[in-house]
A and B are shown apart, each in its own frame.
Chain A
Amino acid sequence: MTIGGGLNEPRDVLGVAVWALLNHPQQLAQVVADPALFPLTFEEAVRWVAPIGMYPRETTKSTVLDGIQLPRGAHLGVVIGAANRDPKVFADPESFNINREKKPHLAFGGGNHFCAGTWVARASVAGVALPDLFRELPGLRLDPERPAVDAGWVFRGMTDLPVTWDSNSASQLSI
């Protein structure tokens, strides 16, 4: 879990955050002008597309959950991807909006198994990867010829994210 969580989910949130920002030029301009907004971008990206969309649970005793009677030993799929877009909690939940009212989301789970890597992910993606990417790749934009693809349900992220950028800058990268 530590190895999988250490690699896949941060990668997925990074891809989704880049895709979302490139699709929302005003929000992109906002974060480029004020890198202190990268943490907000990160939280909104994990809310909007939870990198772990569903995790399994089993009831250890019979219980009633939100009016539903559950027997002991029932297998449950906790769909945090849906919870994070609950219209009773988030206004206009389907939109990516870093300026939305700050609310707790469930992308890192909750309770005893709350993600052990939450702060590692925040530091590495919001503190390092996102700001570095937009600094090192000036003019980063979606490739108009090839559409980006997001996919997955249990694990969700970008499976294809073709981009281009301006190479005539001082900081060229060879990829």
Chain B
Amino acid sequence: MTKLSFHHSDGSIDVVETDSETSIMRAAVTNGVRGIVGECGGQAMCATCHVYVRPEYLGGLPGIGDDEDEMLDCTADPRDDVRSRLGCQIKLGTGFDELEVDVPGSQV
């Protein structure tokens, strides 16, 4: 079971708990989390699944691939050199069982 917390800029939090080994983007979209769009369906081609990972959770994440790195330069809200990730490139069930992210104000 993975617990994901999506913090919105208005202070509200969406919590998603799932057994599925899907991506953060897919978990968010399937559960109707606002502010995660996922236009390209998870191919690292649209940058509309951008999240800022809270620092205390950065350690458990897989590294940033070349495609993700390039696409992170195209985010609607500014890239954070340390915390920005594409939600579609992080699979659940890989090295963490809890994750908290801040959802950017805009994705398009």
Interface residues of B (CB under 8 A from A): 37, 39-41, 43, 45-46, 48, 74, 76, 106-108
- B107: chain A residues at CB < 8 Å are 104
Cα distance A43–B41 when bound, in Å?
Answer: 19
List residues 97-115 of chain A with CB under 8 A from any CB of chain B.
Answer: 102-104, 108, 110-112, 114
- B108: chain A residues at CB < 8 Å are 43, 102-104
Decide yes or no whether A118 CB sits under 8 A from chain B.
yes
Which one of A103, A104, A114 contacts B45 once the chains associate, using CB atoms below 8 Å?
A114
Tell me, rounded to whole Å, the shortest Cβ–Cβ distance linking A19 to chain B: 23
Which one of A43, A102, A111, A119 contacts B74 once the chains associate, using CB atoms below 8 Å?
A119
Cα distance A22–B40 when bound, in Å?
Answer: 32
When A and B form their complex, what is the total count of cross-chain residue pairs whose Cβ atoms lie within 8 Å? 28
Which chain A residue shows the least CB distance to B43? A114
Can you give 22 contacting A-B residue pairs, CB < 8 Å?
A43-B108, A102-B106, A102-B108, A104-B37, A104-B39, A104-B48, A104-B107, A104-B108, A110-B39, A110-B40, A110-B41, A111-B40, A112-B41, A114-B39, A114-B40, A114-B41, A114-B43, A114-B45, A114-B46, A118-B45, A118-B46, A119-B74
Tell me, rounded to whole Å, the shortest Cβ–Cβ distance linking A40 to chain B: 10
Cα distance A119–B76 when bound, in Å?
Answer: 13
Decide yes or no whether A76 CB sits under 8 A from chain B.
no
| Ranked 5 nearest A-B pairs via Cβ | A111-B41, A114-B40, A104-B108, A104-B37, A112-B41
Residue pair B45, A116 in contact (C-beta under 8 Å): yes
Which chain B residue shows the least CB distance to A116? B45
- A116: chain B residues at CB < 8 Å are 45
Cα distance A112–B26 when bound, in Å?
Answer: 13
